[in-house]
Each structure stands twice: as structure tokens, then as C-alpha cells.
Amino acid sequence: MKINILGAATTRFGELWETSPRALAREAMSHALKNADLKPQQVDALFVGNMLAGILGNQGNLGSFFAEELGVSVPAFHIEGACASGGLALHNAINSILAGQHKTVMVLGIEKMTDFNQEDITSGLMAAGSDEERQAGATFAGIYALMAQAYMQQYNVSEELLSSVAVKNHYHGSLNTKAQFQNIITIADVMKSTRIADPLKLLDCSPISDGASAVIISSENIGDVSNPVSITASEVATDTLALYQRESFATLSAVTRAASKAYSKANITPSDIDVAEIHDCFSIAEVIATEDLRFSKRGEGAKDIAEGKYTLGKGKIITNPSGGLKACGHPVGATGIKQIVEITEQLRGQAGSRQVKGARIGLTHNVGGSGAVAVIHILQT
């Protein structure tokens, strides 16, 4: 059975102080419907990806909450998997269609973070960590810093090479009118920014963001199908919550396993990918991902990024043309769906100044926690 993307839309990401979660959801869902040329009554079910509404906003009934906003009484589900909540929501929506339960499904990814103070947000995000990490007072910046230290030591990689990730993604973000940060930065800017958890600096870290994204998928060709895009693989894998229980800090086994299954399911190889949205919550995350996805050889991810292998106008495989989490923003529940929206627009040839020329096959890489869950989707025209 073919899974078609009928509509895709995203709000602007950023510090959206004057916009409520309802308003964010309304914008994303209504624009996705318009993009698909559908009415709300043509949607059979709603899946919502969100991490923090129950922790920070005291609202745990998000399926019904946003079905009400959509204006329909349909089966509605809230899916939570840390920063991979959006990707997991889409995975479950796809499976509901493959199981024959639904034909046309909307998936909403949403998060409202900036209304809360830094301490509450940091604590809420660490709900995705292990008991031991929380008891030790660890944050995800600290955990990814340990990964960066291990990687840099193992492969003799400098901080300057690591900084090239943020430089690339800010350049791409400067081309995206919906990105939280649209400014170009340099390696010198990254290097002189405040150290958060050595060796990670402020400009190595994705920001706190608000935003919503929505996609409509279907087993049928309805609405506007003039630019057809299909999801040919949707795979999930998991690993231990705690970093210390893993064999290596320089790879995420959940990603390698999910990616291998996705390539096999879509009957492609990594070299067939034209464009990818990668979960660059921290600079080291994209470096490791380029290797786990087999775009780069082990130990060469940072060098390849610095040399422009994944930059618009230079590389064969373009990563994070949206600006990634670093520049586009990271409203955690929305990120996995925003990635799908970006790849859909790329494959439809609708990405404007950030368009990857001739893109026909795209991949999204959505990670929860420090790699405890990974979701890989492959999209094709």
C-alpha cells in the first residue's frame, strides 16, 4: 500500500509570545488542509506529537484538545517520545493506515516552550533521561558534551571542525523565512560564544522554541496530487535511556538500526539520498548522524561538513536545508513533522531559495533523548 503525502505546512518557529498553542495548531492544520485541497471532514483521524504539554502546561488530553480545534469528532491520539514525538506520531499514523483502520490521517507536531522559565524547561526535557542522569544533575547539553568529548578524542577532531555544523545550518536558515534564526554566522562566532558544557558552546546548541507543523497522509489520491510525494519507509529503533550503558558514545545504535531497515524497506542505498533533515540538537549530533546514516565514513563527518559536502550549492547530499534544529528552531514535539514538511517541499520543488536542485529522494532523522529512540522516514517522488 502506498502512503501519499497530500498536504504539508508549518508555522514560523521562534519565541512566539503572543501565540497560543491553539492558534499554532489552527494555523498549521488549516494550511495543511489548504495545501491538500481538503476539508476537515475528510480527515479520518488525528495523531498529535508533543512532549511537554502535560509536564509544563498541565494538559494531557491533547488528542481531543486539538481534534476540537480541527472541528471534527474523529479518533485522536497523543504520542510522546521525547524530541522524537513528531516522528513517532507519523509512524503510528502510517501504521493505522497500513492496518486498514483509516484512509486519510492528519499528523500534528506542536510545542509551546517559551512561556515557561528556563529551569522548568530544562527539568521537563530531562524527563527523557535516565533516573541516574537526573539524580546526577545532568542536562542534555552535558550528556551531548560527553559524546562530543569522546568523539573528538577518538577521531582527533577539533572544536573548529565541530563549529562548522552551526555555520552551515545558519547559512541554510538565512534562506528560510520561517526559521527562528536567519543570520549567517562564522566559526569565530561559534568559538567565542559562551561555553555551555565543554566543548559545546551556545552556538552549538539548538534553541528553546515555539511552533507547530502538520502533514496529511492517505492511502488514496485525493485533493491536489499534482506534486505527488510518498513515504516509502518508516522505521523506529530504541536504545538504553542512559548514555553510560552503551558500548560507544560516538554512535547511536538506534539510528544505525532504524536507518538500515529504512534503506532496505525503500530499496535504496545512502548514496541515493538527495536531501536529509537531521536532528542536530547539538553540533555533535549532526556529525554523528552523518556517519550513522552512512553519508560519511566513521570519523570523517565533521571534516565533510566543514568542506561543504552537505551545503546547498556544494554538496551531493544536502543536510538541513531548513536550517535544522539549530537555526530553524526546536519546538520538540513539532520538529519531526517540520522535517517531513521540509522534505515534502523539497521533493515538490517548492522550497524557494533553499531548493535542492533535482531532489527526488529525501530522508528525515528524528531522535529522542540522547539516542534512546530514533525514527527514520524516507520520502520519494
Q: Could you list the active site residues?
A: 83, 330
Secondary structure string (H, E, C) spanning the chain: CCEEEEEEEECCCECCCCCCHHHHHHHHHHHHHHHHCCCHHHCCEEEEECCCHHHHCCCCCHHHHHHHHHCCCCCEEEECECECHHHHHHHHHHHHHHCCCCCEEEEEEEEECCCCCHHHHHHHHHHHCCHHHHHCCCCHHHHHHHHHHHHHHHHCCCHHHHHHHHHHHHHHHCCCCCCCCCCCCCHHHHHHCCEEECCEEHHHECCCCEEEEEEEEECCCCCCCCCCEEEEEEEEEECCCCHHHCCCCCCCHHHHHHHHHHHHHHCCCHHHCCEEEECCCEHHHHHHHHHHCCCCCCCCHHHHHHCCCCCCCCCCCEECCCCHHHHHCCCHHHHHHHHHHHHHHHHHCCCHHHCCCCCCEEEEEEEECCCCEEEEEEEEC
Copy the grid coordinates of residue 303.
Answer: 571534516
